[in-house]
Structure 1
């Protein structure tokens, strides 16, 4: 008897001695040990662990020389599972030995009531046991262990499933129809046709396995720009792994194709109230300090929500008595550009609903925005769509292939503008937090019915245009708490809120909890943190000391609070604020603090 078999036999003897088998069902000669490699003596053979969370270790073990160690991450509970063939209408006993905090043992797909048992604290080896009966047509069940999100690693050993064995599964056929979608600079989306009987798929890049997913799509990240890769996929179930599919090749996009390559390494972005007045007062373009590297003119607004026709004009003298003339305004823009600054037209804002629901609206958007850019000699465009400008239609559940017209048309319109003005065209976006962050929890409505269809609605726009995007500066204000990759909520006004939001953008995250739909990380030079310049400018004002803590943590991994980042990004581009006018109202506190901080 090999060591694996010996360990399984010891577990069965222990169960029988304790009476657990007898209480679950009457043992018969057909009962057998069904868990494969339950003692992990053969490493992880037979087991699949989410997000690479599992490993076979030599200490601690309950018996033998190996055990499972699985480590949850912020968005993963370290679930390790295997699918087992069973018989319908039959009784089974499941047990295992565990150590650590928050360890679960269970079975799913039973055809009756799925079962699980857990412990919240096992400082030494502790046995978990449960039992179930299969349904009248059940031929497979999945047994699993998992921990809890963001907690410490757990250990498991001697996993045992005892009962009548079912008909053995057969190895699935190789997947067909492997297709590479539109590549980014550092990622390639893949999809393929399902293989009958498969419980998962292995994804290979140039012969190396890089991912395991349960669905029929995956995004392979961590790639190099302007590089050709070959991909293959295999299907797996408890019987084994299929041959690999035919290859699909893709070449990643060139890096740094977004405009603004001549921006400083660390930049300050601000909105200038050019078309209206409020309590902050009017600021002339010529009076904007040199601190500001990107100046977004607020706002170009539509003639109606659905027209796509965008208009921009300077604040009327009756409303802004100290406003400059159009000629002086244009001359000041040229002076800023001569000094290396970028001046953009920002479209939308809180009062400017823009819904490009038709191709006619899309074309009107391109034409009217072009007129504004040409008239004022601007460097590009800022998208500041808020409210219901971007809402997902029910059933639009994949950010990589959007079908909602207002999103498809917006992407097309921006691509047309980029094509017209060339590689120097500067593109920035300023989504509100829930347009981005809530894609981590649920993406739109669709199968998550009842949720706000705006949740995550910017994700397909950002993803489709990531290679043209100069800067993304999420509005880290006027928001409720956000959930970070640590699965903890963080409130506005403190460093952890900005650290958690930025870490998501620079790390990437599964959308709506689907590990096969991972939103790839942006480059750090594409990301700035959006903040209000004063307490009057918006909810969530962050004092300079907390702003500096966030920058320290993200760029140096020092001065961090309770949130642990997934990396260190000294190339983080900088900060955005609403607004230049409010910063002037607040004695230039925001920009002076950034000027003093600017890091090398």
Structure 2
């Protein structure tokens, strides 16, 4: 605003400076917005916009936080601090900003206040700080989210992010690494080459709210055939040399994780990083079930979550992404209750009588959509769910897989509100989960039925009574199953059929 005013005054007084003044006014800016505020802390975001004619090759944003406000986790930048003065510098992948383009970084802070005395590459930032209202706006989306009427493809960045080396159509499975279950133990070295992504089940917390995640191999008393940790790590390296990805899956049916505090959030980041580093893993899978995620009363807009367990999980994953860079593989395996049920119900609802867990994964998925590698919803152990045709679909048939997956590929209004539309994910970010056998979970479907669903989604062929609203999806990522161990127990029915089938797709 100051530069614009000076330009106007100069234009009126000295005609020879008219051409120069607009160029200064249209230079680079860094604008700040609070994207979430939960009273004791907040999440902030700076957007650096190149309004000049040339290309910016690197950037630094420096600002001061008021006394009593502490900087927490951050992402998409590095930081150095002297007292309350913090300098954020671009990462290797977001330093270059073409004319008219923008990049952003974010951070968490504990305490009141907003940044002051902002400098971008040593000059005034020129952005106007804004704060979120105490209640989410009824119709207006935040600046980084397309308005509800905008087509979903405008949400992802214009260029496709790296896939993390995952095949175009991938087979993803869970390995019971820390327990035997009824299917028996399977050594990492004995996992067949059909599996492109292997999720280690499970990393679990020391207590529900500690955020301190631990992982260990199955005890020899439960799994007599368990390999040594050295052999386990060597087998992981061998898989990675074959192009496979090995992830830590966090949660599961028994691993309730509630990041209710900033201390739990930070413990989560530290402990998960330690496990990734110890075993040399490619990333993490978020498999929060049960009561891990929920929405507090009044938290009604998935684009602006305020519930601590949601906000802290988003921040923790962003911190991990910032630590490991763009090649960190991030997958999620929510149940339909936490995702597709959000088409009808979201959190406690306007009168507080609904299950607060309904649709509670949606704000996490939405906030991390630019970092998400694959979302593979568990299309099993599910009750009937309404699809985009406004009909209830029941697990165990091809139509259920098609209808549930189509919701992610087409997008949908949350809780029926057309002004709060969950935008579609990219095709390559979407797979679906199915039990590998009749013993692995409710909703088992024989291989022919699974392949009918994939064919319908990918090619528009072999569809049943449900017609996908998303059209054909040739880049659909593939299939996930619980579990590799149960697949072995049933003579590899799932991988023998679907591994080659996925590789044969165009």
Tell me which of 322, 333, 336 is aligned to 1:419: 322
Any idea what SS the aligned residue of 1:397 has? coil
Which is richer in helix? 2
Alpha-carbon distance, 1:582 to partner? 0.4
**Corresponding residue to 1:591 among 466, 491, 495:** 495
Normalised by the size of structure 1, how large is the TM-score? Answer: 0.59
2:251 match: 348
Q: Offset at 1:288? A: 0.2
Written as runs of structure 1 = structure 2, the 5 A alignment for 1:461-500 is: 461-500=364-403
Measured in 2, the distance between the counterparts of 1:413 and 1:365 equals 7
Q: Which residue, out of 275, 278, 287, partners 2:190?
A: 287
User: Per-residue deviation at 1:281?
Assistant: 0.5
Which ranges of structure 2 fall in alignment gaps of 5 or more residues? 1-101, 106-130
Q: What is the match of residue 115 of structure 1?
A: none
1:392 to 295, 298, 312: 295
Alignment pair present for 1:302 and 2:205: yes
Q: Which runs of 5+ in 1 are unaligned?
A: 1-179, 184-190, 194-199, 204-210, 212-216, 226-251
State the Cα distance separating 1:218 from its structure 2 match: 3.5
| 1:253–1:456 distance in 2 versus 1, CA, 3 Å | same
Give the CA deviation at 1:449. Answer: 2.5
Aligned equivalent of 1:442? 345
1:192: how far off?
12
Aligned residue in 2 for 1:564: 467
Match of 2:434 in 1: 531
Q: How much does 1:380 deviate?
A: 0.3
Question: What SS class does the counterpart of residue 246 from structure 2 fall into?
Answer: strand
CA distance in 2 between partners of 1:256 and 1:574 (Å): 17
State the distance in 2 between where 1:320 and 1:495 align.
36
Mapping of residues 264-283 of structure 1, within 5 Å: 264-283=167-186
Structure 1 residues 330 and 560, CA, compared in 2 at 3 Å: closer, same or farther?
same
Residues 265 and 223 of structure 1: CA distance in aligned 2, closer, same or farther (over 3 Å): closer
Q: Cα 1:347–1:202, aligned 2, differ >3 Å: closer, same or farther?
A: closer
Go from structure 1 to structure 2 and tell me whether the alpha carbon gap of 1:284 and 1:331 turns closer, same or farther (over 3 Å shift): same
2:153–2:426 Cα contact (<8 Å) kept: no
Are the aligned partners of 1:283 and 1:581 in contact in 2 as well (CA < 8 Å)?
yes
Superposed CA deviations along residues 386-421 of structure 1, whole A, max 9, x for unmatched, are: 000001001100000000000000000000000000
Could you report, residue by residue, the CA deviation over 1:44-73 in whole angstroms, capped at 9, with x for unpaired residues?
A: xxxxxxxxxxxxxxxxxxxxxxxxxxxxxx
CA deviation after TM superposition for structure 1 residue 263, in Å? 1.1
User: SS state of the match for residue 410, structure 1?
Assistant: helix
SS at match of 2:199: strand
Q: Secondary structure at the match of 2:350?
A: helix
1:268–1:328 CA distance, 2 compared to 1 (3 A): same
Aligned to 1:234: none
The answer for the alignment partner of 2:150 in structure 1 is: 220
Give 1:158-307 correspondences, 5 Å limit: 218=148, 220-224=150-154, 253=157, 255-257=159-161, 260-307=163-210
- Pairing of 1:12-161 with structure 2 (within 5 A): none
Q: How far apart are the structure 1 equivalents of 2:132 and 2:322?
A: 31
Q: In 2, Cα distance between the equivalents of 1:537 and 1:182? A: 43
Higher relative contact order (CA 8 A, sep 6+): 2
Contact 1:428/1:473 (8 A) holds in 2: yes
Counterpart contact for 1:255–1:467, Cα < 8 Å: no
Q: 1:534 to 1:314 in 2, by over 3 A?
A: same
* 1:542 aligns to 2:472 (yes or no): no
Describe the superposition over 1:171-208 as per-residue Cα deviations: whole angstroms up to 9, x where unpaired: xxxxxxxxx9999xxxxxxx999xxxxxx9999xxxxx
Task: Report how many residues are paired.
Answer: 370
Counterpart secondary structure, 2:204: strand
> More strand by proportion, 1 or 2?
1
Say if 1:201 and 1:491 are closer, same or farther in 2 by CA, change over 3 A.
closer
**Matching residue of 2:20:** none
2:360 match: 457
Structure 2 partner of 1:575: 479
Contact 1:270/1:292 (<8 A) preserved: yes
So what's the TM-score if we normalise by structure 2?
0.70
CA–CA distance in structure 2, aligned partners of residues 325 and 448 of structure 1: 54
The correspondence of residues 356-435 of structure 1 with structure 2, limited to 5 A, is 356-435=259-338
In structure 2, C-alpha distance between the alignment counterparts of 1:271 and 1:202, rounded to whole Å: 40
Taking a change above 3 Å as real, the CA distance of residues 345 and 219 of structure 1, as seen in their structure-2 partners, is farther
Deviation at 1:255, TM superposition (A): 3.7
Alpha-carbon deviation of 1:222? 4.1
Q: Cα offset for 1:595?
A: 2.3
Give, in whole Å, the separation in 1 of the partners of 2:159 and 2:381: 33
Query: Residue 295 of structure 1 contacts residue 344 of structure 1 at CA under 8 Å; is this kept in 2?
Result: yes
| Alpha-carbon distance in structure 2 between the residues aligned to 1:363 and 1:470 | 23
Quick one: distance in 2 between partners of 1:202 and 1:328?
Answer: 54
After superposition, the Cα gap between the structure-2 partners of 1:462 and 1:264, relative to the gap in structure 1 and judged at 3 Å, is: same
Asked if the contact 1:534/1:582 (under 8 Å) is kept, the reply is yes
User: What is the root-mean-square deviation of aligned Cα atoms in Å?
Assistant: 2.4
8 A Cα contact 1:260 1:425, kept in partner: no
- The 1-side partners of 2:393 and 2:474 are apart by 23
Which structure's CA Rg is the greater one? 1
- Give deviations 1:281-310, integer Å, cap 9, x for gaps: 000000000000000000000000000000
Q: Give the aligned partner of residue 312 of structure 1.
A: 215
Q: Deviation at 1:256?
A: 3.2
Structure-1 residue corresponding to 2:409? 506
